[in-house]
Structure 1
Amino acid sequence: MSIQIFILSKLMEDNTYPYELKKQLSEPIPLDKLGGLTESKLYYHFDSLAKQGLIEAVEIIKEEHRPDKQVFQITAKGREELPKKIYKVMKNADKISDMIVCLANIKYVERSKVVSILEDKLEKITDRWEQVKAFDKLVQRDADKEQFIDFISSYVTTRNEHTIQWLEELIKRVKQGDF
């Protein structure tokens, strides 16, 4: 879904074709390789968006000794669906890293809805973390498992507190309009 959000957001700015987007993603940092985005995946998502009626072909560029390039534009339905796709990914995201494409395209959604989604997420994580901390009192500690329990406890504590801290920071920055 993040790939489709990326495609739709690029088409909000200007008409383009799949290979051009692939090129943009690979220069100067090879984000396509880092994200595992192959040309075939990109073409698949263009095709999927076209079948959904969210984009449409508007031009074919013919060049000698080169394959034809099919240029796409976003449709009215695509403009309407982009925010819905962004909200859906943000609601379903387990980590901030799962929301990066959405956050990069925050200008296409209502900040207040994004804040609400993030605050709900923060509340659930905080509640769950409080429950997990209560389990520590129930764990039987014996000398054989003491180091293992301390290791796991430290790992889980650091990870959860880190997640909570960065979600709070993200909420603050979205509210301030930092991006």
Structure 2
Amino acid sequence: MSIQVFILCKLIEGNNYPYKIKKQLSEPIPFDKLGGLTESKLYYHFDSLVKQGLIETVEVIKEEHRPDKQVFGITAKGREDLPKKIYKLLENAGSISDMIVGIAYIKHVDRDKVVEILEKNLKEFITRREHIMDFEIQVDKDKEKLIKYLDGYYSTRAEHTIFWLKELIKQIQQKEI
């Protein structure tokens, strides 16, 4: 989903072709490599967006001794659906890293609605953390150290996520992001 949102965001800024978008995804941070995005996966997402009616081929560039280059543009339906896709991406995000594309293109959506979604995510995350913290686990003596380790890991990770979600909400509200 985030790849499709990224493609739509790049195409709302102007017509483009897949290879150039893949290159833009890898600069300055190689998100394509970090996310395991291959050219075949990228073309799959382009095809999916075409089938959804969100993008279309606007030009085919023919070069001698090279494959034809399809240039894509966003459709009116794509412009209309982009905010919905960004909101859905943020709503379904399991972590802050899953939100990066949506946050990077926040200019295409209502900031107040983004804050509302993030605050809901934060409340749900805090509720889940509290539920997990309430578990009373009886452990064999030989598993105590493992359980203590895992408890430390998950509680630290939860506190870290809560801190950064609150920081993200604050920076969006203050229009720093």
TM-score band (shorter)?
Answer: over 0.9
Match for residue 126 of structure 2?
126
In 2, Cα distance between equivalents of 1:159 and 1:116: 23
Moved more, 71-80 or 148-157: 148-157
Q: How large is the Cα RMSD of the aligned pairs? A: 1.6
In 2, Cα distance between equivalents of 1:63 and 1:70: 11
Q: Deviations over 1:31-68 (max 9, x none)?
A: 32222111111111111111111111111111111111
In 2, Cα distance between equivalents of 1:2 and 1:112: 21
Moved more, 74-83 or 153-162: 153-162
5+ residue gaps, structure 2, are none
Q: Deviations over 1:100-129 (max 9, x none)?
A: 111111111111111111111111111222
Q: Aligned to 2:134, what secondary structure does the other structure show?
A: helix
In 2, Cα distance between equivalents of 1:15 and 1:116: 32
Please give the TM-score of this superposition, normalised by the length of structure 2: 0.92
1:144 deviates by 3.9
Identity of aligned residues (%): 67
Q: Aligned to 2:176, what secondary structure does the other structure show?
A: coil
In 2, Cα distance between equivalents of 1:157 and 1:11: 41
In 1, Cα distance between equivalents of 2:25 and 2:97: 17
1:155 deviates by 1.4
Match for residue 166 of structure 2?
168
5+ residue gaps, structure 1, are none
Alignment of 1:140-151 (within 5 A): 140=138, 143-151=141-149
Moved more, 72-81 or 39-48: 39-48
Match for residue 116 of structure 1?
116
Alignment of 1:1-179 (within 5 A): 1-135=1-135, 138-140=136-138, 143-179=141-177
Choose 1 or 2 for highest CA Rg: 1
